[in-house]
Structure 1
Amino acid sequence: MRATWRWAHSDLRTHRGEALFAVLASAGVIASLLLAAALLSYAVNPWQRVFNQSRGSHVWIHGRDGADGFDPAALAPLAALDEVDAVAGPFRTADAVLETGGTRAGVDLRATGARPPDTARPLLTAGRWLAPGGPADGIVLEHTLARTLWAEPGETVTLTVTGRHGPATRTLYVTGVAETAEPRYRAGRGDGVGWVLPGTLDRLAPATTGQTVGLRLKDPADTDYAVQRAVTVLGAGRIDQITTWQRARADIGGDDRLLGQIFAAFGLAALLAAAVAVAGAVRARIRGQAGDIAVLKAIGFTPGQVVRGFLLQHLGLAVAGAGLGTAATLALGRWIPGRVGAAAALWPRMPGHRAAVVGVPLAAVLLIAAATALAAWRAGRVPPVPAARSAHPAARPLSALGRRALGLRLSPVLVLGWRSAFTAPGRGRALGATARLALPLALITVALVAWTTLGQFRTDPARVGRAAALTVRTETPPAAGLAARLEAVPGVADAVPGVESTALVPGQTGTVTLRGLGTRDAPYPHTVVEGRAPTGPDEAVAGQGLLDLLGVRVGEWVRMTVEGRPQILHLVGRSVEPDHGGRVASTTLDTLRDGDPGLRPAFHALVLRPGADPRQVAAAVASAVPDPVEVRATADPANGEDAPRGALAALVAVLALIALVQLLTLIGTGVRDRVRDLLALRAIGLTPRQIGAVVVTAAALTALAAALLGTAVGAAVGRRLVDAEAAATGLGAGVARLPAPAVLAALVLAVTAVGALAALAPAVRTARRRLVDSAGETL
């Protein structure tokens, strides 16, 4: 064992450059994987991110003010409860309605100071916080409420408050937009939140205020018990509503199931690709020392000692690299500019942080150890010096095709570069190296598929079941000519009447959503990916979630109960349905009127012309229709968030680093294995420049082949993966979208160019070698 340790130490001192490269490669890959894990946690857990950054409250208690409301003296004991860590508020509140451009939304006005509170602090995403002495009464809107109203900092909104003397209308100036860990605003599911100064609330609603207080708990598991004690302190009769962090997390994080599953698959694949890349570097280093191994065998080392020596070396290098990468990420990750640094700074407070910090490096080291053990076992089989030449197999002679190409006066550099890339020293080894390089490139292509799919939620919403950009509702039953008036608005291509109701499925064990959209003569443009659109009586299309719930397929008949009436529908197609988990059946108004002749449309879905601005159309609708109307934007399935796409961009960077490590290993191994052939080419007359060009051409051709293979496989796998995950979440397969051919072509060209550039330095060194064979080269 002592001899093994001495040899391992001597070998590391002799090959310091290779050892340093192995450590840095492992450290870089581990650091990239940890940063990717931080970004994934940042993107997939939006509620936890906002909650931690804002020091959010676990419990929000909403009550009345005045004689029947909270007793101010009773609020102080809340902070003294054993379960409570901090108290946010109390904040005086008032219910109101905001309107802008024909879009209306309920708002819970909340009075706060010129400085945001320390607990449950709103996180500004745009604009500035409230400041006294401004030109007008200001308001900061919660970001989903602002997106619903299309309100941005610097704009004005109309506020309506109903008081003792009737409704009063005022104009507010939007100073900022902020995120909060409370439930998001959703039409029909409660009001949004708007923060105003106390003086502003006094002027807007002097006699219609309530109170809201937030409790930040020491242990989230004590939520139910803490709520009971708080109700006892305040009095149950004075509390209107209580919301907990579980509801907020379900409301904010419920839409990220698809993203979470895709990112989890990416994380595992990236870990595998990283282990393959680092293990490839280890195998290349062992293969490059075949001559040294043969000498060790000749002086008495047993195969077991050789195996143990290489295992000790490379496990030590892998552990050192993993420790260096982990330490660098934890210490310096927060200083990286942009979203990556923000994610790294927040990550220690996110769930699963310790498991990722320990598990990712450990898994990578174990995978590297497995690959190293196989390579070390092969090293133990290297024969002693007299037969050692077989450790470097000789290159195959030039093929008939190559000789014919030279006879046609093709460039010898191109012919010899092709031969070096795919023939010498063996086709199996060359194909294996190409496949290893293609793995991270395939994952990059899969990430681009996910990126493009997420992008179409904004750029092409019709492909994801969002053909209608706006929904118009009237306070009174719509007039007969409303559809014609709406279609006359500039930018509106079609105004489709519709109704929506809840239906019971057979067995009365669950509910689904039944929609009636359009008529048989003017149907709604459903996004049908299987079957066809409904055209005849009793025909309908269904989302994937409904098909899975009922266990039926396209072409079957289903029975459901709507308001006590049976409704039998023939499912003639499957549509992409982003709402209600895909548990939606859509038919025509004519079909529903067969069972209820008096049915009238409850809303109109507006399909806009290409290039029309939904915000401008909404304002035009409010002006063109004489009756009071409410215009709402169709909910964005991606919630308008850029964090998932930012995480995908970071994943692409991680995979690019892994691909670069694999490419450098491949080039170094190829040059070392073919050095005798290159020297022989120089001996028969090739110039140093031509020899260097052969090395660069071989690397570029290998990178080109790997890029073509990786993009082809990645495009096919990415489409299947995204569609499979979409089907599992109820959205339905058929939403995956491949990147533009120009993007894939740019990826292939970029990989080829990087391969050529990475080979320049080895090519220069090889071209400068003298026409002699060293002992290592002879072996």
Structure 2
Amino acid sequence: MRTAFFRLARADLLARPGQTALTAVAIFAAATALVVTLALRAGLDDPFADAMAETRGAHMAVYGELSDADVARLAALPGVVASDVRSRRNDQARLGGTTVEVGLETLPATNAPVDRPHVTEGRRPAAPGELLVERSFARETGLHVGDRFALGTVVGLAVTTEQATYPRWDPGLVWAPAVDAPGRRVGVRLQDPEATDAFAAAARRALPGTRLAFTDWHGVRDTITDQTRTNAIVIGINTLLALFAVGFTVATVISGRVLAQRREIGMLKAVGFTPRGVVALLVGEYLAIGLVAALLGLIAGAAIAPLLLEPMANVLATPTPSALRPLPLLLALVLVLAAVALFTAIPALRAGRVNTVDALALGRAGGSGHASRAARLAAALRLPTVARLGVKDAFTSRSRATLTIAALTFMVVTLVAALSVEATFHRVIDDPALRAKPWDVRVEAPQALAAVQDDADVAAATTVAGLQVTGPRGELEARVLGDGFQAFSYAVPDGRMFAKPGEAIAGRGLYDALGLDVGDRLTVQVSGRPVTLTLVGRHVEPDNDGEVLIFPAASLPEPVEAAAVIANFTPGSDQAAAARRIEGATGAQAELPEEEVRGERADIRPILFGSSLLLVAVGLVNLLATLLLVTRERARDFAIFKAVGLTPRGVLGVVNAGGAALGAIAIVVGIPLGLLIFRGVMTGMNPSEGTDVIGTPGPFALALCVPFVLAVTALASFVPGRTAARTSTATVLRAE
């Protein structure tokens, strides 16, 4: 019996090599897209945790002029399970015409127990004068492997969790084989990673009178997570859509081909096969195709994935994950084969239950003898005869047409999501207040206020400082603006911007965490002294889950040290040129929020376009498979049409019209669905910003989906259309 099964499956596959090859191509495309998708998803689960594990990141770092005995005391504190010490000093370096501060550290050993930088490009320094540069610092300052500057030659780039990405955290990190400096950095890993406050207190008790500075891993994590949350959500949306598209593709191609084999199933039943035997035969047949195609797809996916994983790692500030992880590859193979088996068994079981005589009689026509609703609609619209025939043929199998439309719809949804991402970035670029940065330039030099105000293109300038305040439920992050804050209006969708000392605005997360509403009063402790503020508005806040409080510095009983100077330029000024002048006048780096957002957009574009291109390819294969099956099933009808005068061009038009009908429905459904899905997922996954930052593509941008999808359908229709047009009428009718 097994031999008969094998021979029948082999004969069926070889009898239609074109259909077999197309099925294999569809499974190959699905497996490739699935591998890339799972690789991206694996990097999204907890990117900071992956970076911490890869670099053996410290839970707490202590900085100061420490002796060997001091280092030993810190390493011996309760709860410390590993430690590492390195020399460190801060230097000034001239990069890109600007003087920047550099944190130069001794390069740790490759097996260092704590904080070993993960090299992402180039190599580790091995000789004096060679440098390893932290990746975000290199990207911001334009450094590449091989470049030389005052401190030495860059031989490699690396990621670390010592601090968050530059310039949000500074100075920029650089490692050298040997650094002579009085300052030292001690990184420790704790048995309980949450016990950082207890460790800091113990360190101060162990080294009384020593000036110490601390970096807590929680602060690094929160900053990196806040910076990358939106990008991670965007990538997550795309990968989720890709998973759905892959499932629909496998379902459409396999189910459609099985349903097209009604006559063969009838013949198998006529010679004694039970419905269970028919299902077993077809499942085994398609699993054989699926196994070969899926293995090839795994290889292709593993080769393509790094092209998207590298830019994703740049966006998420993490080491580039490997595309050859066994678990995602094995999961992809299992999912593809399970989908093949499922979507073979269901239609095969349905077809196997059809009466043998009916199955033989249905033959290749397979379908209802009544015109579909789409065909009736085409007739009611008085479309040309060729278009009516195409619509009728496309909906010969309602289930297959539905699956194909669903797959094409997900392709449209992905395109709309990509357009929505572009629109969102455009909106944020045009209005930096949506990033809680309502200024044109920020200078990390609080003493430079007068120099900034003196620039001819500066319309207004003030200072900004960050500080920790104590609220009703613990520590809160706060920002205070100096005199002239009225020129720097945050985006406040609820309530209004503060107008005088004693008023404040806060992010959604703070309102939710403290159970407050706009108009309530909040008392916080600043340096041990109470400050009562009236909450007059909710501002859009992407950082710290929206748990941020902002108010005028004049609200405080004592002045605080400013962290930076912020300024707005006069309309129409050359912001880049003005920033360069300010850098020259102050000797400090000038940060343009607009350029930061443009950089994020440039980083995420390869991921969006790459994953979207994969889905377009999957949709193309899906539609091609559907139309080839339709052409095969309707071969007799096409022959009759040609016999009564339909030209080969007319036959090609019929097939094109069927594909266009499926694509048109996908466009009508996919565009509004894409807008709703993008908005819903962004709101659900990013409640601190929600719909406040979402941009909607304009009508012209959305209209571009129409020619694009129709071009895809025309391309998919070309091969089956030419096949139908070239088929010999006499041969087909004689076979009938």
With the shorter chain as reference, the TM-score category is 0.7 to 0.9
Letter in 2 for 1:183: E
Matched, 1:468 2:431: no
**CA distance in structure 1 between the aligned counterparts of 2:171 and 2:9, rounded to whole angstroms:** 69
Answering whether residue 534 of structure 2 is matched by residue 569 of structure 1, we say yes
The answer to whether the 8 Å contact 1:139/1:176 transfers is yes
Q: Which residue of 1 aligns with 2:32?
A: 31
Q: Give the partner amino acid of 1:551.
A: G
Match of 1:545 among 509, 520, 528: 509
Q: Match for residue 194 of structure 1? A: 174
SS of the equivalent of 1:649 reads: helix
Which residue in the other structure is 1:180 paired with?
A: 159
Change (3 A) 1:777 1:69: farther
User: Which amino acid is the alignment partner of residue 276 of structure 2?
Assistant: G
Residue 650 of structure 1 aligns to a residue whose secondary structure is: helix
> How far apart, CA to CA, are the structure 1 residues paired with 2:388 and 2:256?
25
1:308 Cα deviation from its structure 2 partner: 2.6
Q: What is the correspondence of 1:594-605 to structure 2 with a 5 Å cutoff?
A: 596=557, 604-605=565-566
* Number of the residue aligned with 1:449: 420
> Percent of aligned pairs with the same residue?
23
Whether the aligned pair in 1 keeps the contact of 2:27 and 2:293 (CA below 8 Å) is: yes
Letter in 2 for 1:664: L
Where does the alignment leave 5 or more consecutive residues of structure 2 unmatched?
73-80, 195-205
Pick the aligned partner of 1:107 from 102, 108, 131: 102
Retained in 2: the 8 A contact 1:558–1:571?
no
Which amino acid in structure 1 is aligned with residue 719 of structure 2?
A
Q: Which residue of 1 aligns with 2:281?
A: 309
Partner in structure 2 of residue 392 of structure 1: 367
Q: Give CA-to-partner distance per residue, 1:631-671, whole Å, 9 cap, x none.
A: 55669589858554433333213212221222112212332
Structure 2 counterpart SS, 1:738: coil
Q: C-alpha separation between the residues in 1 aligned to 2:643 and 2:493? A: 64
Which stretch of the first structure deviates more once superposed, 174-183 or 308-317?
Answer: 174-183
What are the Cα deviations for residues 58-108 of structure 1, in whole angstroms up to 9, with x where unaligned? Answer: 799888899x44899x9xxxxxxxx99xx99x8654333557799776533
Distance 1:247 1:512 in 2: 11
From 670, 686, 694, the equivalent of 1:710 is 670
Q: Report Cα offsets for 1:435-486 as digits up to 9, x if no partner.
A: 33212331343244345545766675343332214334666696xxx4xx74
Deviation string, structure 1 residues 588-620 (Cα, Å, up to 9, x no partner): 56xx54x74978977542123567665543443
Tell me if the contact between 1:23 and 1:317 (Cα under 8 Å) persists in the aligned partners: yes
**Alignment-derived partner of residue 201 in structure 2:** none
Aligned with residue 326 of structure 1, among 277, 280, 298: 298
Shift of 1:582: 1.4
Aligned-pair CA distance for 1:274: 0.8
Distance (whole Å) between structure 2 residues aligned to residue 36 and residue 505 of structure 1: 43
- In the alignment, does 2:489 pair up with 1:529? no
Q: Which amino acid in the other structure matches residue 509 of structure 1? A: G
Match of 1:294 among 266, 275, 282: 266
> How far off its partner does 1:623 sit?
5.6
Deviation track 1:177-222 (CA, whole Å, cap 9, x = no partner) reads 8333242366797744234686xx77xxxxx44567999x9xx999
Counterpart selection for 1:759 from 705, 717, 721: 717
Distance change (3 Å), C-alpha of 1:612 and 1:309 = farther
Query: Does structure 1 residue 435 correspond to structure 2 residue 435?
Result: no
Q: Take 1:360 and 1:285, find their aligned partners in 2: how far apart are those partners? A: 23
CA drift of 1:285 comes to 0.8
State the match for 2:77 in structure 1. none
Aligned to 1:722: 682
Change in CA separation of 1:338 and 1:368 when aligned onto 2, cut-off 3 Å: closer
Once the two structures are overlaid, the 10-residue window that deviates more, 672-681 or 604-613, is: 604-613
Q: Secondary structure at the match of 2:721?
A: helix
- CA distance in structure 1 between the partners assigned to 2:306 and 2:504 by the alignment: 55
| Structure 1 spans left out of the alignment, 5+ residues | 75-82, 158-170, 203-207, 225-235
Pair 1:606-2:567 in alignment: yes
Q: Give the CA deviation at 1:367.
A: 3.5
AA partner of residue 142 (structure 1)? E
CA distance in 2, matches of 1:126, 1:615: 31
What TM-score results when the alignment is normalised by the length of structure 1?
0.73
Of 694, 702, 705, 1:736 maps to 694
- Partner of residue 164, structure 1: none
Quote the residue 2:134 is aligned against: 142
1:312-342 CA-to-partner distances (Å, cap 9, x unmatched) read: 3233433443334335555x56897994999
Structure 2 counterpart SS, 1:703: helix
Q: Which moved more, 1:530-539 or 1:658-667?
A: 530-539
Output the CA distance in 2 between the equivalents of 1:714 and 1:103. 44
Q: CA deviation at 1:282?
A: 0.9
Deviation at 1:370, TM superposition (A): 2.9
Q: Distance in 2 between matches of 1:349 and 1:601?
A: 39
CA displacement 1:710-730 (0-9 Å, x = unmatched)? 233112211221233221xx3
| Residue aligning to 2:621 | 661
Further displaced range: 123-132 or 713-722: 123-132
Q: Which letter does structure 1 place at the counterpart of 2:460?
A: D
1:206-225 to structure 2, matched below 5 A, reads 208-210=181-183
1:617 lines up with 2:617 in the alignment: no
- Partners of 1:587 and 1:71 lie apart in 2 by 40
Select 2:545's aligned residue among 576, 581, 584.
581
Is 1:770 the counterpart of 2:734? The answer is: no
1:285 pairs with 2:237: no
Q: Deviations over 1:224-281 (max 9, x none)?
A: 9xxxxxxxxxxx9899889899987676556434444554454344223212211211
Name the CA distance, whole Å, in 1 between partners of 2:531 and 2:169. Answer: 28
Distance (whole Å) between structure 2 residues aligned to residue 295 and residue 523 of structure 1: 82
Match in the other structure for 1:504 = 470
For 2:503 and 2:125, how far apart are their aligned partners in 1? Answer: 53
Q: CA deviation at 1:761?
A: 1.9
Q: Say if 1:775 and 1:361 are closer, same or farther in 2 by CA, change over 3 A.
A: farther
Distance in 2 (alpha carbons) for counterparts of 1:446 and 1:260: 14
Which residue is 1:362 aligned to?
Answer: 334
Residue 373 of structure 1: how far off its partner (Å): 2.5
Moved more, 541-550 or 411-420: 411-420
The one-letter code matched in structure 2 to 1:10 is: A
Residues 322, 38 of structure 1: alpha-carbon distance in 2 compared, 3 angstrom cutoff? same
* Superposed counterparts of 1:241-280, under 5 Å: 252=224, 255-280=227-252
Q: CA separation in 2, counterparts of 1:616 and 1:354?
A: 51
Q: Distance in 2 between matches of 1:539 and 1:440?
A: 48
Q: Compared with structure 1, are the counterparts of its residues 403 and 386 closer, same or farther at alpha carbon in structure 2 (3 Å cutoff)?
A: closer
When normalised by structure 2's length, the TM-score is: 0.77
CA 1:256–1:538: 2 relative to 1, 3 Å: same
2:704 match: secondary structure = helix
State the AA in 1 paired with 2:545. G
- Distance in 2 of aligned mates of 1:509 and 1:496: 29
1:140 CA drift (Å) = 6.4
Which residue is 2:197 aligned to? Answer: none
CA distance in 2, matches of 1:388, 1:446: 46
1:683 equivalenced with 2:643 (yes/no) = yes
